[in-house]
Structure 1
Amino acid sequence: MSDKEGLHLEETRQMIMDAVINQFNQKGMKFTMDDISKELHISKKTIYKEFNDKDELFFATVDYGFSAIKKKEAEIVSDDSLDLVDKISKLIVCLPDNYKNIDFRRVYQLKEKYPKVYMKVAERIESDWGETEKLLNKAIEKGVIKNVPVPLIKLMVEGAIEKFLSSEEFSRTDLSYEESLNKMIDIIINGLKI
């Protein structure tokens, strides 16, 4: 396979995963492979050349999404216009630009119908704390935030995010998921500031 063919295949996979994200945002778990096929004006056969089944497609899309988050995190960490506390705040609620419109409350729907996919999402949320932990420890060392054990901060944030995803109360507010996360992290960070 030539480099050009490999690039084309990767672009096709990305287009399909972007369509999954779009369909998930519109219909939750009720979207079908036909919906993806129609959105992209490609055959289902083309989709199945790239992904064996819907589960494989979901797993790949989760990894794709978290790779995009990692890229956005790298931008935040290298942004010298942000102070340490701002970087921590932005890292915790980091969403790539193409994910800003997703209704993340729908992710909780995965728990019942696609528990393996939900577990993968939960696992990634729990394990992708490397840069944030480094910055939290640095902020504690510099005396910018209170000396609170980092695992406790992590548990508070993860608990709040899980509650956001599963609560019916959230749907009664006029706030988007991103706005709610920003308010949540603002409250937590202000509580940690010295």
Structure 2
Amino acid sequence: MGSVRQSIMDAVISQFNQKGMKFTMDDVSRELHISKKTIYKEFNDKDELFLATVDYGFSALKEKEAEILADDSLDIVEKLSRVIVCLPDNYRNIDFRKVYQLRDKYPAIYNRVAERVESDWDATEKLMKQAIDEGYIRDVPIEVIKLTIEGAIEKFLSTESLSKTDLTYEESLNTMIDIVINGIRTDRM
């Protein structure tokens, strides 16, 4: 991927962080000190740019996931928890609580995000199976765990409910995975 393309996608992320869906291509060109014509040499239109940025972000997520999987200082349950909720560093500041806005204005982009959330589970499923086999998590159907996590993430992204809370998207993900891994029961019984 050319560095100009990557710079443009980084600027899209930056502008989304600052303005949500209200940013314009002028904002992107101003941030990079390039002309809109240069942007349109790399991307045919705003939709193509958004789709490429989503794919770019999920590629960064896979790289972050690989780092977690290779980290021998983490036990298997910690790896599992971190892999499920990992966010690449350049996405940590994105207010994912606003992604629901894409559903109506940019359905193709929203669908791409949803599709990417639902795919690429191979490494996570392998970790789940290993954790079950080694007795670290209960032997429950992996598909049910997967659907529970996908359902929570999809709900976080598809409604404005989360944006009405004081929790960031990352805090919400961490709370969700804590509930999935540890349940909601307290030690008081």
TM over 0.5: yes
Partner of 1:136: 128
Shift of 1:166: 3.2
Matched letter for residue 186 of structure 1: D
Cα distance in structure 2, aligned partners of 1:71 and 1:90: 13
Match of 2:51 in 1: 59
Q: 2:66 aligns with which of 74, 81, 103?
A: 74
What SS does structure 1 have at the residue aligned with 2:87?
Answer: coil
Distance (Å, rounded) in 1 between the aligned partners of 2:182 and 2:27: 44
Q: Pick which of 68-77 and 105-114 moved more.
A: 105-114
Alpha-carbon separation, structure 1, partners of 2:110 and 2:147: 18
CA distance, structure 2, for counterparts of residue 63 and residue 88 of structure 1: 23
Which of 112, 117, 140 is the equivalent residue of 1:148?
140
Q: Does 1:21 align with 2:13?
A: yes
1:142-172: CA deviation from partner (whole Å, max 9, x where unpaired): 1110111111001111111122223443223
2:37 is the alignment partner of 1:37: no
Match of residue 92 from structure 1? 84
CA contact (8 A) 2:98 2:163 kept: no
Runs of 5+ consecutive residues of structure 1 not aligned to the other structure: 1-8
Q: CA RMSD in A?
A: 1.4
Deviations along 1:9-31, whole A, 9 cap, x unmatched? Answer: 71111110011111112222221
The alignment partner of 1:102 has SS state of coil
Q: Determine the C-alpha separation between the residues in 2 that align with 1:91 and 1:185.
A: 10
Q: Match of 1:6?
A: none
Match of 2:151 among 159, 170, 178: 159
Unmatched runs of 5 consecutive residues or more in structure 2: 185-189
Q: Hey, what does 1:49 align to over in structure 2?
A: 41
